[in-house]
A = this chain, B = another copy of it.
Amino acid sequence: VFKKNKMTKPTLTLVKIGGNIIDNPVALSAFLNDFSKIEGAKVLVHGGGKSATKLAEQMGLQPQFIDGRRITDAPMLDIAVMTYAGLINKNIVAQLQALQTNAMGLSGADGTMIVSEKRKNENIDFGWVGDVIAVNGELLTTLIEHKITPVFCAITHDGNGQLLNTNADTIASELAITLSHYYQVKLIYCFEKQGVLSDAEDDDSVILNINSEDYQTLKNKGSIHSGMIPKLDNCFYALSNGVEKVCIGLPEIILNQNTVYTTITI
């Protein structure tokens, strides 16, 4: 792929939101209002929140586990597709339209935007879970050039007709990496904390800057919470592959640069 000179690339903001916003209509509405005000090209990636679990319960389905790991069996995949690609995605898109943001909801199957492969594991069959192998950067940038704001749910496909449940944090970093060929990409992970904490018990212990060396030290000390590890791995992976800036914090940080949050650097 032809990489334009960094200085000539326009900027793009890619924001990932998770369950804490998705499950709270007031927080979601406030977030979308802020998101609609981000200037320039932007992309949204959303997780699923509790809606899939709730729907599964309503339908009397039991979540499946093997060795404590959650399995996406066929009924659970259908529920993920219904809630993530259907209910959540389309309601976010409709709300953004009301805010004059021309959003377009996409799964990885649409325009073959994100191709993944069923996760291989010698010990456990995780079911219909996919790991990203390709992003259709050409079509994605074409949409963005036409003033579309893509809104991705965490469903991808394998190119052979199979939909796959995929980690939303990983989708965000993979999209950011592909888009960095065309844009200076700022990747923002929004979650329920102000940032990466040096003490998981103390919400005020936000680390303002964390580089890969700090990360190793904090991991070795055991200060970094287990759920934080894959998230930070995604951040460093994005930075090592062309993404300009990566930060983590509360949803408010997407507009208000005075808020406390964590910036990740290599």
Contacts and interface: CB of A to CB of B under 8 A. Distances in A.
Interface of A: 55, 58-60, 78, 81-87, 89-91, 93-95, 97-98, 102-107, 109-112, 139, 142, 146, 148, 155, 157, 159-163
Contact of A105 (B55, B110, B148): B110
Contact of A107 (B55, B82, B105, B162): B105
A90 B94 contact: no
Given A85-B86, A97-B157, 10 more contacts: A55-B59, A86-B86, A90-B107, A90-B109, A90-B110, A90-B163, A93-B107, A97-B161, A103-B110, A105-B110
29 contacts: A58-B58, A58-B59, A59-B59, A81-B86, A81-B90, A81-B91, A82-B83, A82-B87, A85-B86, A85-B89, A86-B87, A86-B89, A86-B90, A90-B109, A90-B110, A90-B155, A90-B163, A91-B163, A93-B157, A94-B163, A97-B161, A98-B159, A102-B111, A103-B110, A104-B106, A104-B110, A104-B111, A105-B110, A111-B148
Nearest to A61: B58
A107 B92 CA distance: 12
